[in-house]
Structures are given as structure tokens and as C-alpha cells.
């Protein structure tokens, strides 16, 4: 229960990696705000089900709706968490989308949607959540980047730019916040089995598997373990780092 007493906010937590992170932080004793975006009615149901699961396991959680691209919504989300639990200790910038296509075929919307969700969304949530962390002189910001943000990827110039931007953002905010005892790190997953990767054609999946030294795709729980470590006291001297978690593809 090493996160007992801590308050966390995980964006895009109703499914996939975000859901695994929310469950892991709760299992370590943190209270968890589960962010979802109400694009479909089922998203609220998923978020509320997760809150119920955490509560049943003896944890404390709340669901909070916000489209993180929207400045007012992101601010209201942070205020809702602060109103309920009086602080935020841990922010996980997890929400993200992809709109993959080759650059020459890319629409402006596909570019803007991905940058606005993955980069602007993280910027907004970080800016608003930092206020509480600065007051208490303790905080953890962990952003989910991607190996695509380090090495690039064909068909993902928008996604890779957003995730590379997130890395540069992480390193900069880590420098700004070091004196406040707030650590700011990014994790860069490779191929993790979620709704995002389910969409890929089976030939692409097989080709990717052949490149992984550990000979399996990652599970959301693999990423959640790393995030929980970075959120803990044990990681108190790690900041401005990007930690790859990809089964050994890019050593
Ligand atoms: P996922 O299953 O598609 O989940 C993404 C989550 O983000 C969903 O809950 C989604 O909500 C939420 N979201 C999207 N736009 C949002 C917005 N505007 N406001 C609030 N929430 C929003 O994807 P995942 O695989 O778990 O990915 C989680 C993170 O890991 C992403 O940042 C992704 O880029 C990164 N990542 C994933 C992989 C991988 O292999 N899966 C690899 C590297 C990095 P809805 O349910 O409404 O869509």
C-alpha cells in the first residue's frame, strides 16, 4: 500500500492501458479519479464499472468526464478532483488516439485531432494539476508516450510527432519543477494489446511479433507496473526520463 493517502488522476482510464494503470494505482492504495470522455454512452458505463470494481476491491475511486482537448473541461476535471479529495499527487497523461496514414494522404483533421488529444491534452492536464502539486511540494507526472515518438514510424507522422513532443514537454517540465519536488517522466511502450492495436491487420501484427526479443506483445499491466513504480517514493530521484517498455525491440 505504498501509495496510501495519495490522490491520482488517470486520463482516458475507462479502458486499455489507462484502466490497468487505474487498477494498479488503486491496488497500491491511491485514490483514483478515472477520466473518460462522453463520446458514447458506453464510455460512462465503462468508467463507472471501473470505479465500482476498485471500490469492491476496497479502494476509493471517482469517475470524471472531460474531453482533455478542451481547456475549460480539463480545468473543471482537475477542480472536481480537488473538490472531492483536496489535492492531486499523481497525474497520468494516458489518453491518446491514433489516425494512421501516410503523410501525403493525411488530412488536416487527422493531424489536428492527434496533436490536440495527445499533446495539447497532456499540456492542459499537466498545467492545471501542477497547482496542487506545487502547493504541497510533492508530485508525480507520468505521460504515456510511445516508441514511435523516439524512432518514428511509417504511417504515424502525426502520432509520432505528438509522442515525440510529449517527450520534449516532459523533459522541459521536469527542469521547471525539480525545485518543487515534482518528478516528471514519460514511458514509451512498444506494442501493447489494447483496442488501439486490435485494429492492426494480422500481417502487421505477425511482423511486429517477429521483432520482439521477449517473443510476446506487452499487456496493459506491464505498463501499469512501470507507471506505479514511477509514481512511488522509490522513484523519487528519477525525473525527465523516458523509459521504453517494448519487450526489447529498441535496446
Ligand atoms: P485505447 O484502448 O484506445 O484507449 C485510449 C483511451 O483514451 C480511451 O479511454 C479513450 O476514450 C481515451 N481518450 C481518447 N481521446 C480522449 C479525449 N479527448 N479525452 C479524454 N480521453 C480520451 O488505447 P491504449 O492502447 O490503451 O492507449 C493508451 C495510451 O498509450 C495512449 O496515449 C497511446 O497512444 C499509448 N500507447 C499505446 C500503445 C499500444 O500499443 N497500445 C503503444 C504506445 C503508446 P474513449 O473510450 O472515449 O475512446
| CATH at 58 | 3.40.50.720
Cα(197) to centroid(ligand 1), Å: 10
Residue nearest to atom 4 of ligand 1 (CA): 16
Asked whether residue 200 is domain-assigned, the answer is no
Residue 180's pLDDT is what? Answer: 98
The 10s digit of each residue's pLDDT in 136-186 is 999 999 999 999 999 999 999 999 999 999 999 999 999 999 999 999 999
Mean pLDDT of 81-108: 98
Q: Would you say residue 12 lies in a domain?
A: yes
169 belongs to a structural domain: yes
| pLDDT computed for residue 188 by the predictor | 98
pTM of the shown model: 0.98
User: Is there an atom of ligand 1 within 6 Å of 96 CB?
Assistant: yes
159 is catalytic: yes
Does some domain include residue 145? yes
Which of 11, 12, 21, 166, when mutated, tests ligand 1's pocket best, judged by the most ligand atoms within 8 Å of its CB? 12
For 153, the domain range is 7-192+221-245
- Does a structural domain hold residue 11? yes
* Residue 212 forms part of a structural domain: no
pLDDT higher at 87 or 200: 87
Give the whole-angstrom CA distance, residue 194 versus residue 60. Answer: 25
37 CB near ligand 1 (under 6 Å): yes
Show the beta-strand stretches assigned E in the chain: 7-10, 31-36, 61-65, 90-93, 139-144, 182-189, 242-245
Confidence of residue 225 (pLDDT cuts 50, 70, 90): very high
Residue 227 lies in a domain: yes
Overall number of domains in the chain: 1
State residue 41's pLDDT score: 82
Amino acid at each position: 500500500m505504498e501509495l496510501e493517502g495519495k490522490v491520482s488522476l488517470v486520463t482516458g482510464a475507462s479502458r486499455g492501458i489507462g484502466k490497468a494503470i487505474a487498477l494498479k494505482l488503486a491496488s497500491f492504495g491511491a485514490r483514483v479519479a478515472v477520466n473518460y470522455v462522453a463520446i458514447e454512452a458506453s464510455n460512462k458505463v465503462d468508467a463507472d464499472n471501473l470505479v465500482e470494481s476498485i471500490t469492491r476491491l476496497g479502494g476509493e475511486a471517482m469517475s470524471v468526464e472531460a474531453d482533455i482537448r478542451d481547456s475549460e473541461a480539463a480545468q473543471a476535471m482537475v477542480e472536481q478532483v480537488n473538490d472531492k479529495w483536496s489535492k492531486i499527487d499523481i497525474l497520468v497523461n494516458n489518453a491518446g488516439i491514433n489516425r494512421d496514414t501516410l503523410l501525403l494522404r493525411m488530412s488536416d483533421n487527422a493531424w489536428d485531432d492527434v496533436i490536440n488529444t495527445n499533446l495539447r491534452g497532456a499540456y492542459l492536464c499537466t498545467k492545471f494539476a501542477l497547482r496542487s502539486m506545487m502547493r504541497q511540494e510533492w508530485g508525480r507526472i507520468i505521460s504515456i508516450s510511445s516508441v514511435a515518438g523516439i524512432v518514428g514510424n511509417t504511417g504515424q507522422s502525426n502520432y509520432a510527432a505528438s509522442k515525440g513532443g510529449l517527450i520534449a514537454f516532459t523533459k522541459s517540465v521536469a527542469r521547471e519543477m525539480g525545485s518543487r519536488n515534482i518528478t516528471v517522466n514519460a514511458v514509451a511502450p512498444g506494442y501493447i494489446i489494447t483496442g488501439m492495436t486490435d485494429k492492426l491487420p494480422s500481417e502487421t501484427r505477425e511482423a511486429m511479433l517477429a521483432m520482439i526479443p521477449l517473443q510476446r506483445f506487452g499487456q496493459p499491466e506491464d505498463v501499469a507496473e512501470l507507471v506505479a513504480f514511477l509514481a512511488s517514493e522509490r522513484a523519487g530521484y528519477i525525473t525527465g526520463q523516458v523509459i521504453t517498455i517494448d519487450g526489447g525491440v529498441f535496446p
